[in-house]
Amino acid sequence: MLGDCSVNAPTPRDTAVYDRIGRGYAVTRRPDPRIATAIRAALGEARTVVNVGAGAGSYEPIDLEVIAVEPSSEMIGQRPPGTGPVVQAVAEHLPFSNGAFDAAMALLTLHHWTDRPAGLAELGRVARRRVVIFTWDPACGASFWLIRYLPAILDLDLPRFPPLADVARHLPDMAVEPVRIPNDCVDGFLGAFWRRPEAYLDDEARRGISAFAQLPPATVDAGLERLADDLASGRWDQQFGHLRREDSADLGYRLLVADVTR
């Protein structure tokens, strides 16, 4: 037994976001093999892993014993057959004993937690060897060209993503590894289409990106209209066309790897 999996169901506030915006998420948010390789390497010699904020189960290594934690029933329902067991719970209250797993991982999920310090403390509590987090560094700010068209994304994300220094206060032995995003990234998160700007005009591509779902539709429509105009006129390529020749980009995505001692 990895731990006691009994827990009260999350409150509606905990589950509402992805119960509302997560429909069809598994279609656009497929694991990219290059990012998967980096995450698997970061887990090191762990054999048992808890995946906190697991969503539909992307990046859960098939060679490890994984238990997923996810608050949204919509996301749980999209986990493919053959994935490991899932517990409906929140990061801030993990229903496992101290040191129940070799490693705890949390992938592109910190910005959805209601109490990040509590969630980070829980990751460190249930892991006996290592904590692995995939997140975005807000210090990178407006380096991504899309922010010029939709500055409201930055207004939304800067308060949601914790500074890496704040994470390090809870995981003091933390190493930071840049994750460059490949030009053909198959995981459709916000930065995935940095070299394929036309993709942001596609409704299905945007469906798996929480920022688009959480901004006012009028704001999104106005920004995308400007992008469409610049693509049609050639202005986008005049400013950013050099990106179409790049193989990968550093957009501020980071792997945080912390060894813990039990």
Q: Which residues of 30-51 are buried (b: 16+ CB within 10 A; e: fewer)?
A: ebbebbeebbbebbeebebbbb
pLDDT at position 262 is 63
CA distance 58 to 107: 9
Residue among 50, 60, 66, 67 nearest 131 (CA): 50
What residues contact 205, with CB distance under 8 A and at least 6 apart? 28, 188, 193, 199
So what's the pLDDT on residue 25?
Answer: 55
Please list the rounded mean pLDDT of every run of 10 residues in the chain (262 residues). 38 46 58 96 97 93 96 89 91 97 96 94 97 95 93 93 94 94 95 97 89 93 98 98 97 96 69
- Encoding tokens for residue 229? 């105009």
Phi, psi of 174 (to 5 degrees): -95, 130
258 φ, ψ (degrees, to nearest 5):
-130, 130
52 forms bridges with which residues in the sheet? 69
Predicted local distance difference test score (pLDDT) of residue 4: 38
Contact 132, 254 (CB under 8 A): no
Cα(187)–Cα(33) distance, integer angstroms: 9
Q: What is the pLDDT of residue 141?
A: 82
CA distance 112 to 69: 14
Q: Is the pTM of this model over 0.85?
A: yes
Which residues partner with 248 through β-bridges? 182
Instruction: Give the whole-angstrom CA distance, residue 94 versus residue 211.
Output: 26
The continuous run of DSSP H or E covering 68 comes out as strand 65-69
- Sketch the domain layout of the chain as residue ranges: 12-259
Class of domain 12-259: alpha beta
CB 126 within 8 A of CB 99: yes
pLDDT at 14: 43
